[in-house]
Amino acid sequence: MDNTDDNFEEFVRPPDDIKSEQLIANKRNDYEREIDEAIYLSIQEFNQKININDEFEKELINKYFEENKKRKNLFSKFLFDLNKISKFDNEIKDIYEIIEPIIESYCSQFIETCEFDKNTYEKIFKILGKIRTDKNAIELLKTIILNK
């Protein structure tokens, strides 16, 4: 066991000599030091504003996704029921093809309202009134789809 310690000692190099050095005195004038300080403070302020803006952007994005999720949850059962019925009823299929993109646009926050002429508006809600599904979703849809 001592042999390995001796071998190890052979390969270890001795420490470097200690040197003491003296820094060169700062020969810049007051104006140059003030400029450097001003630049440093400006960079610090800029970085702080970037951090504030990044936090604000993250908050906006989070709010967008939360609202998007909330809106999709409101219409998910309604769209599921409507899609299921549209496979058997052509009249419901036509209504589904009209309102599904509107609901998707509303959920994605591209639009808040959509206007239809009186005949189309009445046809949509007359047919939707006959379906047994989430009545709250239909009432919410009435606030999105407006009568011209």
For residue 76, the model assigns a pLDDT of: 92
Residue range 45-81, pLDDT digits in tens: 999 999 999 999 999 999 999 999 999 999 999 999 9
Total domains, the chain: 1
Within a domain: residue 63?
A: yes
Within a domain: residue 50?
A: yes
In this model, does residue 32 exceed pLDDT 90? no
**Whole domain around residue 59: which residue ranges?**
32-147
Within a domain: residue 22?
A: no
Within a domain: residue 16?
A: no
Q: How many Cβ atoms from other residues are within 10 Å of residue 39's Cβ?
A: 10
Residue range 85-122, pLDDT digits in tens: 989 989 999 999 999 999 999 999 999 999 989 999 99
Within a domain: residue 143?
A: yes
Better-scored residue on pLDDT, 20 or 130 = 130
For residue 72, the model assigns a pLDDT of: 93
CA separation, residue 8 to residues 1, 13, 14, 15 (Å): 11, 10, 13, 15
Within a domain: residue 13?
A: no
